[in-house]
Every structure is written in C-alpha cells, then in structure tokens.
Structure 1
C-alpha cells in the first residue's frame, strides 16, 4: 500500500477529522513546492519513521501532490490545491447570465475540460499500474466525448433562451436560475462516471487490513466511482443552488429593488464563496481510503479475504 494510503489509514475516519485535513491540503501555497520536495516528502512518509508535528508540512505536501497509485507527482494544475484558483473563476463564469450562446459554450468548455482532466489525473489507476498500461485511444475518445457532451448540455439554458427568443421574466428566471441547479449536479456526476468508467470495467486494487494487496475488484471500482461522482455532484449542485436561490429571494427585498446594480456583484461573490466552502466538504464527504464489505466482493476474492472488509483507494 502506498505511503499516502497508509497515512490516510492512520487518520481517524470521521467526517470532521477528514475536513480538518482537507482544509490543510487545499492550501494554494503547496503548489509552490518543486517535484523534488514533493518526492522527498513522499519518501519520508514511506520511511517507517515516527512522524510528529514538525513533519506535518511533509505529510500535507505528499497527500496533496502525489498520486497514491503511481507514487508520482500529480500535474500542477490538477492537484487539489489548484482546484479553487483554477475552477473557481470558471464556475462563476458559467453560472452568470449570458447574452449569447457562444459565451455560454466557451465557459462551459473550459470548465468541463478542466473537470475531465482533474477527474482523470486523480482517478484510481492501480489496475493500469499493474499492467503497465498507458493512456489508450479509447480513453482519449471517452474524455473528448465527455467534454463535448457536457459542454453542449451545460449551455442548454442559454440555447433555449436564444433559440426560443424567451423574454418572459418567469421563464428567464427558470432557465437562468432554476434549471442550472440540477443540470450542474447531473453534469458533474456524469463527468466523473464517464471519465473514470474504466475502473468499473477493469476493477481496482483492494487491500487487507495490513495493507497487503488482495486482488482487483470491479465491485470496489464501481463503489469508488459512485462515491466520487456523488461528492462532485454535491459540490457543483450546491454551488449553483445556494447563490441562485439567495439572489431570487433578495431581489424581492426593498434594498435590491432600489439598487438593482447590487445583484451582479452579490451573485459573483456568493458563487465564489459557496464553491470555496464546498470544496473541502465535498472532498471530505467520503474517505480517501474507502472500505468495502467482504460479501460485496466478487466470489473469487471472498475466499482470499481475512476479516469483514477490504480497503481501496477512492481517488478524487
């Protein structure tokens, strides 16, 4: 088992404990570390030495920057600390009202492309590592298809507004404030599910309590992808829901009726704030080192399992 996974195993598995850890792992200053510093921190975790508080910086650097299957440093832009600086402005841009289809498609393309890249970079690649596989043409086509589909689907509200020449205030409110809420959650779920679909087809590596590899399990792969997709749907769905509903409520107040120019900056700030608060919540919702019950595994693995459950790397 990779040192990062062993470190997650040593941590308490409560949601609040995971949340505290992720608040440290999402520190953007971790992006300033070099690959040499990252690999040194990862080596320290795997050295077997007893770590104390002075080693926390190395622990956070390794957990936030090293892939737990390959042991290599993640691409800079797809590391968890880069999520808010890069995707935050894109989320704000996609949720704002647009005047043209081109602008809606443009911002959706940037956001969905980044999401697909992040999901692929942070996937569980244990089966690929065992088989020494590189990215296949099928994976490239799958990622490209996912980006194309989610981009078009994400721009549907603006497409409807323009093509149907909608001018009715209630309909504009529906397409610009209500429809994006379930649409954002559904597209985030779909993005993770399709980009990481190979994990459900080939399976992922599972470990016993001592960290010893037991085999490859499709059931664990399905559970890992489903949990990650749900957490991502919660992230983007909440980021769309809370600001839009707040704006709808506040537009009825006397202050916003008299000062309509306040609506735009309030929408910008609330989207950015909610999204930034929801990132650590989303990442913490399920454990990084997930567990699966013995009876839920494939029959051929159940005979090799000692204990009631196995562990697996969920990915991010």
Structure 2
C-alpha cells in the first residue's frame, strides 16, 4: 500500500529515469496509453484539479504517490502543457496508437486504385494537421496561415509522390507498389515539418545552459532539430510501413488467406509495431 504523498515530488518530470531504456519505455507507454482516450470529462477534470492543487502546495487528504502520478499522466494526456487547455481528442498522444495504426493499415491496404490513394493520403495528412495544431507550441504558436500552407503542401506532396510512384511501380514487381504509401509519407514529412516550424527557422529556438537558464534563440539549433525530426519521423514510419508489406506479400500467397479472405487491413494493424517503436 502506497504511503501518503510527499510534498517534494517533481511532477514536471517523468516518473521513471529517462537515462535508461526501461524508464523511457514505461514513460512512453503511459503517455501513449490508448485507454486515456476513453476517460470521462469528470475523470480528466479531477486529474487536472489534483495536479494543479499539488503544484500550488494543496494536497487532497489521503492522496498517495501512485494516485498523484496517475493523475499527472492523465492530465498530461489531455491538457496542453503550455496553455493548459483541453486538447482535441484525436490530436492527443493517447490517440496516436489506434489512429496511426488504422490509417496506416488503410493506406497499405487500399493502394491499388487512384481514388483510394488520393483519399487515404488526404486522410493521413488531415490527421497530421490536427495533431500538429493540437500540440502546437505555446512559445512559438502556429498561425492559421502557417497551418493551412503546411497542410496543403504536405497533402499535395504526398498525393503527387504516391501517384507518381504508383505509375512507375506498374512496370516493376508487385511488391514495389506496396511501398508507395511509405514513400509518400516520407515525402510529406520532408515538406510538412519545415513548413510547420518555419517560425523557428526564422527566429530560432530557445537555448539553455546546463542549469536550464535561457541564453537566447538559435536558428542554427532549429535547423539541426528540424533535420533530426524529419529523419526520425521517417525512421519511425519504417517498422509499420516497410515491414508489413513484405509480410503481407508472403501471407497473401498462402492458401488460408485465399480461403478465409481475411481483410489485409486487419492484418496490417495487427503486425504494425506502431506502439512499440514509439517507445524509442
């Protein structure tokens, strides 16, 4: 049984040591826990009150450390860290696993016709725009014009890339066409992220010393950060979008697939490692 909570817990930081893989894994499993999407408004409000009261030095009688950390992760899953406003539900980190797995499964399944390619690339970029807006920085807010430009450019880039590669893939082995969605997503990330963070490229991002003291803003640090984000986003897409096509190409030749007619989209969602690779 947990004892009553101490007044000296720093709930601004993760509960577990982020210097270890296990600590990072536990933290991100909590952050992306899909069950938080199903929590009621009353539960979210109760968590918000608990966290804000604790920060103000007010503690509910009988509150335990486990309950405080639970409230902290519920609060973080639903409320913006800078503005404190409740975030749109499908833009929350807790919605990323089911949303990304569903959209990825559909993109990898419905790639044979042009209307399907256009539709699912549009759905994916629309979802990305919602996530980017929901998680916008309070220190460097995204304007409506920036959001619109990034959305339009990323959607156009993804669709043009997908259709262009789809056309080329008709003259190549069938498995090649299965990688068209991955190439389109990679191209969209190369366009979308710099557009969304153009303000940082122009004015820089905050730079601090080892004690957390803000020294100023650096455009060079922003460029390095954006390159790293683009590369990591493409790398994160690889397990879910590059591995399943190989598996599905082999499975669809099996007799049980032809007999059961099990929809490929369900298998894509099953074999997707979306939740696991995001712990990195």
- TM-score grouping bracket, smaller chain normalisation: 0.7 to 0.9
Q: Distance in 2 between matches of 1:10 and 1:49?
A: 24
1:17 matched to 2:13? The reply is: no
Pick from 260, 275, 278 the counterpart of residue 279 of structure 1.
275
Correspondence for 2:12: 6
Q: Compute the displacement of 1:263 (Å).
A: 9.0
Correspondence for 1:142: 150
Q: Please tell me whether the aligned partners of residues 188 and 233 of structure 1 are also in contact (alpha carbons under 8 angstroms).
A: yes
Q: Compute the displacement of 1:273 (Å).
A: 2.8
Correspondence for 1:83: 96
Q: Distance in 2 between matches of 1:207 and 1:280?
A: 31
Q: Please tell me whether the aligned partners of residues 165 and 180 of structure 2 are also in contact (alpha carbons under 8 angstroms).
A: yes
Q: Please tell me whether the aligned partners of residues 121 and 155 of structure 2 are also in contact (alpha carbons under 8 angstroms).
A: no
Aligned positions, number:
265
Length-normalised TM-score, structure 2: 0.77
Correspondence for 1:152: 160
Q: Distance in 1 between matches of 2:120 and 2:135?
A: 23
Q: Distance in 1 between matches of 2:260 and 2:54?
A: 49
Q: Distance in 1 between matches of 2:99 and 2:132?
A: 14
Q: Please tell me whether the aligned partners of residues 92 and 268 of structure 1 are also in contact (alpha carbons under 8 angstroms).
A: yes
Length-normalised TM-score, structure 1: 0.69
Q: Please tell me whether the aligned partners of residues 11 and 72 of structure 2 are also in contact (alpha carbons under 8 angstroms).
A: no
1:127 matched to 2:140? The reply is: yes
Structure 1: where are the runs of 5+ without partners? 129-133, 286-316
Pick from 27, 45, 56 the counterpart of residue 33 of structure 2.
27
Q: Distance in 2 between matches of 1:230 and 1:5?
A: 30
Structure 2: where are the runs of 5+ without partners? 1-8
Written as runs of structure 1 = structure 2, the 5 A alignment for 1:153-172 is 153-160=161-168, 166=170, 170-172=172-174
Question: Compared with structure 1, are the counterparts of its residues 155 and 247 closer, same or farther at alpha carbon in structure 2 (3 Å cutoff)?
Answer: same
1:73 matched to 2:86? The reply is: yes
Q: Distance in 2 between matches of 1:45 and 1:105?
A: 48
Q: Please tell me whether the aligned partners of residues 14 and 27 of structure 2 are also in contact (alpha carbons under 8 angstroms).
A: no
Correspondence for 1:314: none
Q: Distance in 1 between matches of 2:54 and 2:229?
A: 25
Question: Compared with structure 1, are the counterparts of its residues 102 and 38 closer, same or farther at alpha carbon in structure 2 (3 Å cutoff)?
Answer: farther
Q: Compute the displacement of 1:46 (Å).
A: 3.1
Correspondence for 1:231: 232
SS in 1 for 2:200: helix
Q: Compute the displacement of 1:242 (Å).
A: 1.1
1:194 matched to 2:203? The reply is: no
Correspondence for 1:47: 56
Pick from 241, 248, 265 the counterpart of residue 262 of structure 2.
265
